[in-house]
Amino acid sequence: MAKKAKTETVAMEIYHSPAGDIVLGSAGGKLVCTDWLNGAHQSYEMVRKRLGGEPFREGGSALTRQAAKELDEYFRGERKEFDLPLRFVATPFEEKVWKALQRIPYGKTVCYGDIAREIGQPGASQAVGGAVGRNPFSIIVPCHRVVGKNGTLTGYGGGLPAKRILLGLERPGEELL
């Protein structure tokens, strides 16, 4: 008989950002998600299932409060990088893509093909797009900095209005396609 996977409870709280509400979740002393509450992808549900299906426990944790503090600093223009311990609940490919996203500098954008080349899989732009779409760490693992090949804004889990807000914050005065 197959061994049942261990389940973990995720401490969560809702962060009210200028771009929309975000689910902050932690488990085992690491952040497991910062995902849009009403977003298209709801990656926090994927994380919950991968951790064994336990429901999130409201009330947050010291780590989700730290994440909220750092997000406040980001939205005030005081923070360009995050200093939070992350736990990627991911396939090896997703983890590789998400780590590449973390290397995109504040205020810069790249396309899916750039990420595919960086991870050594130049023909995998479409698969990279799928992994970017499953990123459960919105803003902190900056998938909003990924745009279409011609520089146009492409889909975003928090919606294109949220993506415009984030890129506008990072690139004030610059026109977005």
Kindly list the distances between the CA atom of residue 15 and the CA atoms of 59, 69, 85, in Å, as whole numbers in the listed order.
12, 10, 18
Residues that are catalytic: 143
Residues facing 20 on adjacent strands: 17
Read off the tokens for 14. 């809702």
